[in-house]
Chain A
Amino acid sequence: MTMYPLTCSNFLSRRLMLALLVAQFVMPMLIGNARAAGLDEIKKRGLIVATEDDFRPFEFVKDGKPTGFDNELIEDLRKYAPFEIKQEILPWTGILAGVSTSKYDVAITAAIITKERKQSLAFTSPIADATHYYVKRKDDKSISSIKDLSGKTVGVQAGSALLARLPELGAMLEKDGGKLGKVVEYTSYPEAYQDLALGRVDYVVNTIINLKTLVAEKPVFELGQAVSGKSFPAWAVAKDSKELLDFLNGFIAKEKESGRFAELQKKWFGEAFPDLPVAFEPEF
């Protein structure tokens, strides 16, 4: 059996503690110096686009291929852009973090424009209407209007704008003397819908488009009413990539003009949104 002299490791561990301390300061520096790429750099190396994989009808995977509203727009963007487009498909969790650290140039997904996100990201023109609605089980007779939601358990996605704007619903309920019930957070919506079907939550809040698609596919659910004011989703780029933002807004404007945008909205959302603003300043 080998003996382990403790004298020298005591001395070592003090140095190691020091190293650990230094690491605490160096790590943020490694992360802090991200800089967004200019359009010239993108032209050389290609545009790196991040999309989600389980956000039907915006982006999802069918038979192993990415499809949905945003993915069809990416196909158009490939023809429009004078540079190569490289697509990365990953779950929501890493997407906005990846854009703000410049791992990806743009998140082509339905990221709802919020005040908080605007501190580190910039958003393109809105791509759809994302007013928040609630969905409930069709056979749940206890909910027929917003005031019935008082005290009931609600499911929303963690880290989402929908979660951030739940206080709006809370204010609506308080007007009638009610209050917001327990809030359950999920990593993504399919789990929330599953729990709604199982009766573990009483209603789920998501955008009108996502819920319309859900209800069309799954008649056990029933769409409720709007639980927020105006809200719009858009594509997100890093805050300092002005050139890229202008380029993408140019692309969206052209798609809107040619009627292609409305056509895709009709195909994937069941309706076109002709009155979308070109720029949106969020209140929340």
Chain B
Amino acid sequence: MSGSDIAAIFQGAIVTVTLSLVGILIGLPIGLGLALIRWANVPIAAGFVTLYVSMLRATPLVTLLLLLFFALPNIGVPINPISAAIVALVMNTSAFNCEVWRSALMSFPKDQYEAAQSVGMRAGQRFRRIVLPQIVRVSLPGLVNEMSLLIKVTPVLAVVGVVDITRAAVRIGAETYEPLPPFLVAIALYAPIVFALVSLQRWIERRQAAAEAAA
């Protein structure tokens, strides 16, 4: 394995991190939005969200991706591999995020919400000041869990031609007929990426604990 091979795997790492980040950053708020629609039981929309979540949770990511990639051009929507990958990741992760957010919302004490109402907070204020800070704390472990799964599911994006860490490693193995060294480099790259995510979670949790102790 040459230096340029290792560089190729690092390039794959950039793709993995970028796609995962985009997926997480778009999927997170969409998941929250979906969870709120179900929580508030918005007529009709709540039913559609339920259907969306169950369908997406039942569809393997790779199948969803192939469907988007090959079916959308037929109805006149040209889609390149990267956009197809992002859309598939966001659709998939938002469904799972929705359920994590919803579990936090369901365990949210109703009396606090009523107390906020009684002191005259508007809906937006109630959500921002009372609900959100508490559900973030409850949801965080579940959300980070889903995020780390998302990072590790990115190798399936290779079926449409996205070259992530694993695909870059596979290519090198196919050229040298020595698949083990590139796979070792690949594994060594996933670990710090997920570790960075987990460190971020710990940092947020520590900050919250500190804020609570101060209050």
Contacts and interface: CB of A to CB of B under 8 A. Distances in A.
Contact of B159 (A20, A90, A193): A90
B39 A103 contact: no
- B interface majority secondary structure: helix
Contact of B47 (A13, A63, A101, A214): A13
A103 B160 CA distance: 11
B75 interface: yes
A218 B171 CA distance: 17
Contacts of B4: 63-64
Interface residues of A, number: 46
Contacts of A27: 71
B110 interface: yes
Interface stretch (A29-37, A173-181, A269-277): A29-37
A219 to B, nearest CB: 11
Contacts of B177: 190, 193, 214, 217-218
A12 B44 contact: yes
Residue among A94, A191, A194, A218 with max Cβ neighbours from chain B (10 Å): A94
B91 to A, nearest CB: 15
B171 A54 contact: yes
A4 B41 contact: yes
Nearest to B51: A16
Given A2-B110, A9-B50, A190-B177, A103 B161 contact: no
A64 B175 contact: no
Interface string A2-16: 101100110011011
A88 to B, nearest CB: 6
Contact of A31 (B48, B71, B81, B110): B71
Contact of A90 (B41, B73, B106, B161): B161
Contacts of A12: 44, 47
Range for the number of chain B residues in contact with chain A: 35 or more
Contacts of A90: 81, 158-161
Given A2-B110, A54-B170, A94-B66, A61 B175 contact: yes
Contacts of B174: 53-56, 60-61, 188-190
Interface in B123-162: 158-161
Given A2-B110, A94-B161, A34 B74 contact: yes
A179 B69 CA distance: 42
B8 interface: yes
B7 interface: yes
A56 to B, nearest CB: 6
A63 B110 contact: no
Contacts of A253: none
Contacts of B8: 61, 63-64
A94 B106 contact: no
A62 interface: yes
Nearest to A60: B175
Contacts of B44: 12
A20 B52 CA distance: 11
B2 interface: yes
B173 interface: yes
Interface string A57-101: 000111110000000000000000000000011110110011001
A94 B47 contact: no
Given A31-B74, A60-B175, A61-B171, A9 B46 contact: yes
Contacts of B108: 1
B70 A98 contact: yes
21 contacts: A2-B41, A4-B41, A16-B48, A16-B50, A30-B74, A31-B74, A54-B170, A54-B174, A56-B174, A61-B8, A61-B175, A62-B175, A63-B4, A91-B167, A94-B70, A94-B160, A101-B71, A101-B73, A102-B74, A103-B69, A103-B70
Interface of B: 2, 4-5, 7-8, 11, 39-41, 43-44, 46-48, 50-51, 66, 69-71, 73-75, 81, 106, 108-110, 158-161, 163, 167, 170-171, 173-175, 177, 179-180
Interface of A: 1-2, 4-5, 8-9, 12-13, 15-16, 19-20, 27, 30-31, 33-34, 53-56, 60-64, 88-91, 93-94, 97-98, 101-103, 188-191, 193-194, 214, 217-218
